Amino acid sequence: MTDREDTRGIERTLGRVLTAGTRVSTACLALGLLLTWFATAGAGTLLLHAGIVVLMATPALRVAVSVGAFARRRDWWLVLCALLVLVLLITGILAA
């Protein structure tokens, strides 16, 4: 496999992570909003919180996948940079 093909594969994987995270969070938020409006508020509130958590965790998951991809390529400088970004993202999520 060439370096270009490997890069395209990584980009596709990262795109899938972002797409899946966005879709799951959107579904949770939409269903939570509908349940809050038309049914019990407890279940709706739980889904709204889950949607927000998934939305906040999606970029961190993307960076974590990047760390793994860079480690497989043995690109240690990018692993270090991605780990730094991951620590900053997690710190921001926890601080929120």
Q: Is the pLDDT of residue 1 over 80?
A: no
Tokens 């992570």 correspond to: 17
Rounded CA-CA distance 40/22 in Å is 25
Q: Is the pLDDT of residue 2 over 70?
A: no
For 26-82, what is each residue's pLDDT tens digit? 999 999 999 988 887 788 899 999 999 999 889 899 999 999 999 998 989 999 999
For 8-31, what is each residue's pLDDT tens digit? 888 898 999 999 999 999 999 999
Rounded CA-CA distance 5/92 in Å is 34
Tokens 């279940």 correspond to: 43
Cβ atoms 84, 64 nearer than 8 A: no
pLDDT band with cut points at 50, 70 and 90 for residue 83: very high
